[in-house]
Amino acid sequence: MELADLQVFTTVVEEGGIAAAARKLHRVPSSVTTRVQQLEAALGVRLFVRQRQRLHLPAVTDHVIAEPLSVMFALG
């Protein structure tokens, strides 16, 4: 897991989707998707529920990602 993965994740959450996050981060959507998948693999959980081109956060995401996010915000 890298800090960049967490930054991409938080941007996806804030923007509500991959495409919007990609625009904000000045990346292509496939790059954002790859980062999210890498973070999911590193944590061993699905961070988003994907439904009809929309992403939803499952309840487990709050518990799994809370500590890494607090570290990221403390660093930056």
How does pLDDT run across 11-70, given as a tens digit for each residue?
Answer: 888 888 899 999 999 999 999 999 999 888 888 888 888 777 677 777 666 666 666 666
* pTM of the shown model: 0.76
**CA gap 57, 61 in Å, rounded:** 6
Residue 26, pLDDT score: 97
Q: What is the pLDDT of residues 44-61, one digit of tens each?
A: 888 888 777 677 777 666
Beta-carbon contacts of 36 under 8 Å, excluding residues fewer than 6 positions away, are: 5, 8, 9, 12, 18, 47, 48
What sections of the chain are H helices per DSSP? Answer: 3-15, 18-25, 29-43, 59-75
Q: Are 8 and 25 in contact (CB under 8 A)?
A: yes
